Amino acid sequence: MTAELGHIALIMAFMMALLQAGFPLAGAQQGVPVWMAIAKPAARAQFLFLLTAFVCLEISFIQNDFSVTYVATNSNSSLPTYYRIAAVWGAHEGSMLLWATILGLWTFAVTLFSRSLSDEMLARVLGVMGLVSIGIQLFILTTSNPFERIVPAPPEGNDLNPLLQDFGMTIHPPMLYMGYVGLSVAFSFAIAALLGGSLDSAWARWSRPWTLVAWIFLTFGIVVGSWWAYYELGWGGWWFWDPVENASFMPWLVATALIHSLAVTEKRGAFKTWTVLLAIFAFSLSLLGTFLVRSGVLTSVHAFASDPARGLFILIFLAVVVGGSLTLYALRAPTVKDSAHYTLFSKENLLLVNNILLVVAAASVLLGTLYPLLLDALGLGKISVGPPYFTAVFAPVMAPIFLLAGMAPMVPWRQGDIKALVKRVAYVFEASLVLGIVLVVTLLDRSDFVTMAGLSMALWLVGSAGLSLYSRVKLRANFWDGLRAQSPSVYGMTLAHLGAAVFLVGVVISNHYSQEKTVKLAPGESVELGPYAFRFQGVKDVVGPNYRAKEGSFQVLKGDSVIAELAPQKRNYKVQRNTMTEAAISPGLLRDLYVAMGEPLDKGAWSVRVYYKPFMRWVWLGGLFMMAGGALAVSDRRYRLMGRRAEASEGAGVVAAS
């Protein structure tokens, strides 16, 4: 029954989405308030039905209802309950339902925090979100129904893919989807503004907090995904530039550009058309990511696209949503006028250059991701594009972004004085350059240009962020008053830029000073890696809920003292007949030690891979800093004031109407 209930709830949600899109959009166009008023209740009802559907699927999983095909293929009665809950988004159908539910959640949030919006604008925003809902739910209902029954019901399920039986992987998809789908809010605001012809700075102010929150989730999703890849895959790598990762990274780059561009549009009324275009791009890339991952067009030689109809559906959906938006943009954008005046060297233009660089970076990732498809389509052979391409293209584009991130906060709006700026930052610039080189030469045993440049750049970011904050604080007589007078968004920006510095330090040091060895070790033998020695003590058998494992025991010694005990596993999952390597890691702020077991060789010996990875944690720490910065910026009073002011004007509206 539960599955049928879920199916019915999903159909009801689809009906609500039709209502939510149809009447309000028509009403806003024709000026019919009653039609527009349908938007809010329809959106809320839609979310309720989606939630019901989602909960129904959860219940089917928790109760081990293997008569539901999706449950049977992705769960097993020996799977721990926690993973059964997460198994809902372990494969295609369920993750699409999660996508739809999260879209419902964002829509619901818009209905709650929309008091400052005019009725017409709200109707349009919800209407556009309803259109997206219609597309995705139609997709689920026609090609990917998670509630389908299997007759006769198998007695046991096929189990969740062991790779996904892990904490990181259970939270990664929901966070990523919160980010992806959250960008639909900024997108809907942009489309609504284009439809209504009211592309003003109020529109940018409404979009900003929504975009920031989506960006925070997206950042978190990517950080968790990378962390998971690092410890779960047993290779010690944290980013592989594979199409699935790129699919999440491209929207992130564009969303980052969008956040900066929205600031300009809100404060200065400039770049309106560009900002709208970015909002369209950001969500389009989220959809494209979904298409690439779900259609199987980019999956490799042996993965299997089960159903080409799905790919075709998403492609048509993508074409309608993105094609429609870009057509609307082409029609409406020429009428929009930028009122702002600014000179060549101004904050506006520096942010514009930052934007262009971020978009170019996203485009180069897109090119690398789609290139194999392009060549295959032209019949030029089956190829793949590896990380060397991405590193070669990416580093030179990112370097000026970091340089600008240090400068732009100190340049005023409208008109900056390039000479004065150079004078102010010269010391910081020189100091970070010298310090970067000195650090590399003295502290690290091997010096190379990339590390020096990277460290100097990170120091520059830190120094300039400090200088920028200091010069703002200095305006007040008292230092503490000065600190307190700064808005949360200033601190947010500073923290996010510091996050970029922390990330950069992690990347350059872990990339260039990591060491690894693959060796054959018999019990009692040890392998040396830098200042550490890994001693292999033997293997014992371990039994988990749905797997058996060989667990190795390793001692890590530095000098004569044992600094870590590591127990990597080689697991054998019973149902899926999969072997999995579980690496063991000793984490630290300054270094990670990492052991993964290969295969048993003769006489109790194993092939073993050991890593020493300095500053590894900084990569993710940087991401967390950026998120915290975003959160601070969202908490800014200006956005809350906006709500109050709106309440006041709503009251005024009632008075005027009565």
Partner 1 sequence: MTPRQRRMVMVGAVIAGVAVAAFLGLTAFQKNLLYFYTPSQVSNGEAPKGYPFRVGGLVVQGSVKRMDGVDVKFDVTDGAATVPVTYSGILPDLFREGQGIISIGQMNEQGTFVASEVLAKHDENYMPPEVGDALKKTGQMPINYKDFQK
Partner 2 sequence: MRMRFVIPLGVFVIMVVFLGIGLKLDPREVPSPFIGKPAPAFSLPQVASPERTFGDANLKGQVSLFNVWASWCVSCRQEHPFLMQLSKAKVIPIYGLNYKDERDAALGWLEQFGNPYLTSAFDADGRVGINWGVYGVPETFVVDKKGVIRYKQTGPITEQVWTETLFPLIQKLQAEEVGA
Greatest pairwise CA separation for the chain in angstroms = 91
Which of 353, 377, 641, 652 touches partner 2 by CB under 8 A?
377
Residues in region 95-124 near partner 2 by CB under 8 A: none
Minimum Å gap between C-beta 350 and partner 2 is: 22
Minimum Å gap between C-beta 599 and partner 1 is: 7
User: 10 Å Cβ neighbour count for 31?
Assistant: 9
Distance CA 129, CA 192 (A): 10
In the stretch 367-396, what mask flags binding to partner 1 with x, by CB under 8 A? xx--x---------xxxxxxxxx-xxx--x
Per CB under 8 A, 641 contacts partner 2: no
User: Across the beta sheet with 515-521, what order do the strands follow?
Assistant: 515-521, 606-614, 591-600, 584-586
Return the number of the residue (22 or 598) whose C-beta is nearest partner 1.
598
> 492 with 631: CB under 8 angstroms?
yes
Which of 106, 206, 252, 291 touches partner 2 by CB under 8 A?
291
Distance CA 194, CA 285 (A): 20
Residues in region 324-343 near partner 1 by CB under 8 A: 338, 341-343
Residues in region 517-576 near partner 2 by CB under 8 A: none
Which of 149, 512, 520, 550 touches partner 1 by CB under 8 A?
520
Return the number of the residue (210 or 238) whose C-beta is nearest partner 1.
238
Which of 81, 300, 391, 478 touches partner 2 by CB under 8 A?
300
Q: Which stretch binds partner 2 (CB under 8 A): 223-231, 367-375, 563-571, 630-638?
A: 367-375
3-state secondary structure 176-236: HHHHHHHHHHHHHHHHHHHHHCCCCHHHHHHHHHHHHHHHHHHHHHHHHHHHHHHHHCCCC
Whose CA is closest to 131, among 288, 17, 286? 17
Return the number of the residue (119 or 166) whose C-beta is nearest partner 1.
166
Per CB under 8 A, 186 contacts partner 2: no
Minimum Å gap between C-beta 349 and partner 1 is: 7
Q: How many residues bind partner 1 (CB under 8 A)?
A: 73
Distance CA 409, CA 487 (A): 14
DSSP lists the bridge partners of residue 596 as 609
Distance CA 615, CA 609 (A): 19
| Residue 559 φ/ψ, nearest 5 degrees | 65, -125
Q: Which does 654 bind (CB under 5 to 8 A by kind): partner 1, partner 2, none?
A: none
Residues in region 575-604 near partner 2 by CB under 8 A: 577
Distance CA 583, CA 434 (A): 39
Which of 75, 95, 143, 219 touches partner 1 by CB under 8 A?
95
> 514 with 444: CB under 8 angstroms?
no
443: its two tokens? 């502290």
Minimum Å gap between C-beta 602 and partner 1 is: 8
Residues in region 231-270 near partner 1 by CB under 8 A: 233-235, 237, 240, 242-244
Per CB under 8 A, 373 contacts partner 2: yes
> 458 with 501: CB under 8 angstroms?
yes
Distance CA 344, CA 266 (A): 20
Per CB under 8 A, 607 contacts partner 1: yes
> Which residues bind to partner 2, rule: CB under 8 A?
73, 158, 273, 277, 280-281, 284, 291, 295-306, 308, 311-312, 315, 318-319, 322-323, 326-327, 329-331, 333-334, 370, 372-374, 376-377, 382, 577
